[in-house]
Amino acid sequence: EIVMTQSPATLSVSPGERATLSCRASQSVSSNLAWYQQKPGQAPRLLIYGASTRATGFPARFSGSGSGTEFTLTISSLQSEDFAVYYCQQYNNWWTFGQGTKVEIK
Partner 1 sequence: QVQLVESGGGVVQPGRSLRVSCAASGFTFSSYAMHWVRQAPGKGLEWVAVISYDGSNKYYADSVKGRFTISRDISRNTLYLQMNSLRAEDTAVYYCAKDSSPGGGTTWFDYWGQGTLVTVSS
- Residues contributing to the site for partner 1 (CB under 8 A): 32, 34, 36, 42-46, 49, 55, 87, 89, 91-100
CA–chain centroid gap for 68, Å, is 15
Question: Least distance from C-beta 41 to partner 1, angstroms?
Answer: 9
Q: Are 82 and 76 in contact (CB under 8 A)?
A: no
Nearer CB in complex with partner 1: 17/28 = 28
Nearer CB in complex with partner 1: 8/15 = 8
Question: Least distance from C-beta 71 to partner 1, angstroms?
Answer: 13
Question: Least distance from C-beta 58 to partner 1, angstroms?
Answer: 13
From residue 89, how far is each of 15, 22, 55, 84 by CA, in Å? 26, 12, 14, 16
3-state secondary structure at position 80? helix
